[in-house]
Amino acid sequence: MDGTLVDTEPYWIDVEQRLVESHGGVWTREHAMQLVGNDLLDSGRYIQEHGGVDLPPEEIVELLLDGVVEHVEAAVPWRPGARELIAELRGLGVPCALVTMSYERFVAPVLAALPKGSFDVVVTGDVVTRGKPHPEPYLHAARLLGVDPEECVAIEDSNTGARSAEAAGCLVLVVENHVPVAPGDRRVFLDTLAGVTPADLAALASQLD
């Protein structure tokens, strides 16, 4: 979701920086980029260690979510082409899942801004035991959809997410946003989702068959 469907990374960075500075620490863009795509508790631990925030990781996560949810409720920053592609896939009856390490209470206002039923399945970071880059989130989503992960295309914007999807067996369409993503045997790259159609996804997938 973050960085692929919506460009909320600037929201996260702003909230992270304000939290760290309120505890007397220094937060750099380099620190922020280390957290892109991560499990939120891992991010909480990183902020605790590198930002000097003397709070439990769970409490750090809740404070981050408070701030980012406030931003999203004011304005949802959609990524180019993402909503249009979802609408076309749904129109064709293609099963779709949202797989994100954000928690349900942050995902809710984003989903509320989409047409009802945009996703058949939503897997959030607070419903899995092991977050990205572990394959569990994508394996869980495929299981709920009733499909083979190897028949799925995952759209990702981070190394962490791409590793998770690959490990689950998915083909990965990478649309880089804030961080560079390394090449991989089961990865194809596009500059944007703008103008991408379901037929384009099928053609990309055939490149890796």
CA distances from 176 to 5, 109, 180 (A): 12, 24, 6
Residue range 82-208 forms a domain whose CATH class is: alpha beta
**153 backbone dihedrals φ, ψ, rounded to 5°:** -110, 125
pLDDT at 16: 95
DSSP-based three-state secondary structure for 22: helix
Domain 9-74, CATH: 1.10.150
Region(s) of the chain under CATH 3.40.50.1000: 82-208
Q: How far apart are CA 107 and CA 35, in angstroms?
A: 18
Contact in structure between 79 and 5 (CB atoms under 8 Å): yes
Closest Cα partner for 15 from 63, 73, 79?
63
Q: How confident is the model at residue 209 (pLDDT cuts 50, 70, 90)?
A: low
pLDDT, position 204: 82
Instruction: Report how far residue 21's alpha carbon sits from residue 27's, in angstroms, rounded to the nearest whole number.
Output: 7
Beta-bridge partners for 111: none
Place of tokens 């890796």: 208
Check: CB of residue 208 under 8 Å from CB of residue 186: yes
- Decide if pLDDT at 207 tops 80: no
pLDDT by residue (tens digit) across 164-182? 999 999 999 999 998 899 9
Q: What is the pLDDT of residue 23?
A: 95
Could you tell me where in the chain the CATH 1.10.150 domains are found? Answer: 9-74
pLDDT digits (tens, 9 = 90+) for 26-81: 999 999 988 887 788 999 999 999 999 999 999 999 999 999 999 999 999 999 99
pLDDT in tens, 93-116: 999 999 998 889 889 999 999 999
pLDDT exceeds cutoff 90 at 161: yes
Q: What digits encode the pLDDT tens for the residues 111-148?
A: 999 999 999 999 999 899 998 999 999 999 999 999 99
Return the H-helix or E-strand segment holding 122: strand 121-123
